[in-house]
Structure 1
Amino acid sequence: MEIGIISQSSTLEKLIKDELKPYVKQIDTEAYYAEIFLRKLGEAGMFSSANKSQRDYLLEEMYVVQETAKVCMTTAFCLWCHLAALTYVRQTKNEKLKNKMLPSLEKGEILAGTGLSNPMKYYAGLEKLYLQAKPVQGGYLISGVLPSVSNLGSDHWFGCIAGVNEDKQIMCFVPCNTEGLKMKEKVDYLGINGSATYACSFHDVFVPDEWILSENAEEYVEEIRPAFLSYQIPLGLGVTQASISSIEKVCQKQNGCNQFLTKQPEVLRTAEQQAQEKLQSLYKGESLNFREIARVRLETAYLTLEAVQASMLHNGSAGYVKDSAPSRRLREAYFFANLTPTVKHLEKVLNG
């Protein structure tokens, strides 16, 4: 059983076929950002949480991420960014902000990024906090630099965390076009360059109280991180499924020589199904267990790396072409392993 197959799966399939598949090579080689696809997902109701429990909308949205990742993990990553931002707004106790932003975010009228890579590492003891906040009348002035925030554009928003002092951090939701915020696009990565990633420099950016998600960011991160992490797992599962399919398509090449490779598709398929079952079990209880989600996220990262490497070996020289699907998925998998929380970050959380 796959994550949470949605009632509009035929609509999703059509959107992927019409609005994503034709652009995959352009996304990978020319840093094209599939904004229209993301907006149309919202228009089609794929982000709606109305009359649904957290479990229901989480599983349904994770399915959308997985199906997107099968075709293009760069765009699935952008989708994860938007869903992470949605989580911030869904969970906030700032009703004014929620009432203003949530409907537009769920309909895809406004797209958003996450901005929490550095804070997640800060709370794990890996980095210092890059943004600082100074209290002023009606809000805060924020200064500092976030090196990489994805799924951004001139009319997008994103979440971020800034330190007020050693004991207090705030979490806020800011628009990209706010005064004092400078953005520089980054397209020099090994892959995932169509993810609308920017370095964000804050120069006394005024953040009014109405944009504050939480006055206690450390506590708030504890609340949002189970969903934040859950939405990442299907990124790897989608790439894994696509890699297994690519292996199965070439099993008869060169007189069936691939049968002598040690890693066969049946073994990978079994491991992927076991990961799906573990994932399902995480959402059967009343509350989400962060450590168990982290464990499945880590196992999925290793499985994805295993699957893409097997696909490269099975595809042989055809996979070694620069813009081939197997080589793209190889680069996607290495990105997934380094997406916050990274493999080493997760190893520290679980085994440190």
Structure 2
Amino acid sequence: MTEMYGDARRADAPVVAGGEEDLARLRRLVADQLAALAPRIDEEGLHPQAFLRDYGRVYGFGHAVDLGYGGRPGGLKGVIAGMEACSEHCVSTGFLVWCQTSCAWYLQKSGNTPLKRRLLPALCSGQQPAGTGLSNLLKARSQLEPLRLRAVAVPGGYRIHGTLPWVSNLVAGAVFAVAAATPGGTLMALARAGAPGLTLRRAGPFCALEGTATMSCRFDDVFLADSEVIAPDEGFDDYFARMRPGLILAQMGMALGLVRGALTLIDETRSPARPANAFVEHQPEDLRERLHALRTETQAAADGLDGCAPARFDEILALRARGTRLALDAAQSALLHCGANGYLARHPAQRRVREAYFVALVTPALKHLAREIALAKSSGPLPVA
């Protein structure tokens, strides 16, 4: 355990201004609880709900939320650092942190002040579990698929129809953000697991990420009140432009953490008795150099989004794509360094490879990012807002 705590303070660890003590406590919590849970989360589909509650208590899901709504200092950089600490041991848990944090981020950017006052403190503390159902929206905005939900205005709110195939962290009582097509455009609102007319069915099985409570969601005339609207169709484009960059940048925590975990596996194989490992593609020195550069640029982009000089959106897309490629390279290198043992079904290197493919496939997927980057190059830089 002492060795793990020492590793948490090594030179390539992230630093969060204003939140160093919180981050140190989180690393101790991860070492004490999550490291041992990771195999069960992966192999048994265990949802780490108790750990997530402790995460909310020790570190919180509101580093990018105003303090008046229950947030904590650290900004998006703090969000990413927390996710990295979890993903170093378990990307499933890092992804669930992103789901919870993303829902808080949507409300932070919303103009619905009563909803923010009512719900954000519980989201930030983790007392209210939350998911994000916006994969379809991100793809629709890139003209890759149509919006799958339709909203019909009725007195006091909207009736929602349609199906979302995959929404994660949908434990009992969870809330989650959805986007639906209206005659005037698009709106975003909060739905709640257990609402009348909402049917949840467990999705999968998946080759990884089984412990993420991922469900398909069928909406049959589900009522969502006006009070639950995050962003109405009027002005939605402006809201989406404010919300999307931070949503995508925060996913870097999964990639950065996975790379650190892969480097730990590689370091465990370094021995004069394994001279062939020196010839594996993507040596640890190169991976560490790329990791350090990527984290530095990610933190600068996060500071920009929190401040007045945001990075261009195409730069954020490029960062996210580089993070994915680094995760893929590091996971493959870890497996090859481990040799035949890495081919055993329950070896940690196997899980790291499967997790890396998830990082490459979660929306926006690597191919989606590549397309957006190509479009940006052909038409000039895309501003954040």
* Equivalent residue number for residue 5 of structure 2: none
Structure 1 residue 314: deviation in Å? Answer: 0.6
Check the 8 A contact 2:61/2:97 in 1, yes or no: no
SS of equivalent residue, structure 2 residue 88: helix
Higher relative contact order (CA 8 A, sep 6+): 1
| 1:209-236 CA distance string (max 9 Å, x none) | 0000011343322111111012101100
1:75-86 alignment, distance < 5 Å: 75-86=93-104
Structure 1 residue 51: deviation in Å? Answer: 3.9
Comparing 184-193 with 132-141, which one deviates more in the overlay?
184-193
Check the 8 A contact 1:3/1:60 in 2, yes or no: no
SS of equivalent residue, structure 1 residue 146: strand
* Equivalent residue number for residue 310 of structure 2: 288
Check the 8 A contact 1:65/1:235 in 2, yes or no: yes
Q: Which runs of 4+ in 1 moved over 6 A?
A: 52-55
Check the 8 A contact 1:58/1:231 in 2, yes or no: yes
1:208-223 alignment, distance < 5 Å: 208-216=225-233, 217-223=236-242
Matched, 1:298 2:321: yes
Structure 1 residue 71: deviation in Å? Answer: 0.4
Partners of 1:122 and 1:40 in 2: how far apart? Answer: 35
* Equivalent residue number for residue 174 of structure 2: 156
| 1:162-217 CA distance string (max 9 Å, x none) | 0012x411100111121110100124111111111000000000000000001134
* Equivalent residue number for residue 114 of structure 2: 96
Corresponding pairs, count: 351
SS of equivalent residue, structure 1 residue 26: helix
Partners of 2:302 and 2:250 in 1: how far apart? Answer: 13
SS of equivalent residue, structure 1 residue 20: helix
Partners of 1:55 and 1:39 in 2: how far apart? Answer: 19
| CA spacing shift, 1:118–1:54, aligned 2, 3 Å | farther
SS of equivalent residue, structure 1 residue 148: strand
Partners of 2:72 and 2:230 in 1: how far apart? Answer: 19
Check the 8 A contact 1:4/1:62 in 2, yes or no: no
Choose which of 179, 191, 195 in structure 1 pairs with 2:212.
195
Structure 1 residue 118: deviation in Å? Answer: 0.5
Partners of 1:248 and 1:2 in 2: how far apart? Answer: 16
Matched, 1:329 2:352: yes
Comparing 65-74 with 47-56, which one deviates more in the overlay?
47-56
1:118-197 alignment, distance < 5 Å: 118-165=136-183, 167-197=184-214
Structure 1 residue 56: deviation in Å? Answer: 2.9
| 1:290-342 CA distance string (max 9 Å, x none) | 22111100011011101111111110111111121111010000010001001
Structure 1 residue 15: deviation in Å? Answer: 1.5
Note the residue ranges of structure 1 that are not aligned, 5 or more in a row: none
Structure 1 residue 55: deviation in Å? Answer: 8.6
| 1:39-83 CA distance string (max 9 Å, x none) | 111122422445499993211121010010000000100110111
SS of equivalent residue, structure 1 residue 207: strand
Instruction: Give the structure-1-normalised TM-score.
Output: 0.95
* Equivalent residue number for residue 291 of structure 2: 272
Q: Which residue identity is paired with 2:128?
A: I
Matched, 1:319 2:335: no
Check the 8 A contact 1:31/1:187 in 2, yes or no: no
Matched, 1:231 2:250: yes
Comparing 194-203 with 272-281, which one deviates more in the overlay?
272-281
* Equivalent residue number for residue 380 of structure 2: none
Check the 8 A contact 1:129/1:163 in 2, yes or no: yes
Choose which of 222, 226, 241 in structure 1 pairs with 2:260.
241
* Equivalent residue number for residue 113 of structure 1: 131
Comparing 190-199 with 252-261, which one deviates more in the overlay?
252-261
Choose which of 38, 43, 49 in structure 1 pairs with 2:57.
43
Q: Which residue identity is paired with 1:153?
A: V
| 1:72-101 CA distance string (max 9 Å, x none) | 000100110111101011111111111110
Structure 1 residue 3: deviation in Å? Answer: 4.1
SS of equivalent residue, structure 1 residue 194: helix
Comparing 113-122 with 225-234, which one deviates more in the overlay?
225-234
SS of equivalent residue, structure 2 residue 324: helix
SS of equivalent residue, structure 1 residue 252: coil
Check the 8 A contact 1:185/1:198 in 2, yes or no: yes
Comparing 199-208 with 319-328, which one deviates more in the overlay?
319-328
Partners of 2:59 and 2:319 in 1: how far apart? Answer: 28
Structure 1 residue 244: deviation in Å? Answer: 1.5
Check the 8 A contact 1:118/1:130 in 2, yes or no: yes
| CA spacing shift, 1:121–1:162, aligned 2, 3 Å | same
Structure 1 residue 241: deviation in Å? Answer: 1.2
Partners of 2:51 and 2:185 in 1: how far apart? Answer: 38
Q: Which residue identity is paired with 2:324?
A: A
Check the 8 A contact 2:60/2:72 in 1, yes or no: no
* Equivalent residue number for residue 9 of structure 1: 23
Matched, 1:59 2:77: yes
SS of equivalent residue, structure 1 residue 140: strand
Check the 8 A contact 1:3/1:279 in 2, yes or no: no
Check the 8 A contact 2:75/2:303 in 1, yes or no: no
SS of equivalent residue, structure 1 residue 71: coil
| CA spacing shift, 1:3–1:11, aligned 2, 3 Å | closer
Instruction: Give the structure-2-normalised TM-score.
Output: 0.87
Q: Which residue identity is paired with 1:186?
A: A
Q: Share of identical aligned residues, percent?
A: 30
Comparing 137-146 with 48-57, which one deviates more in the overlay?
48-57
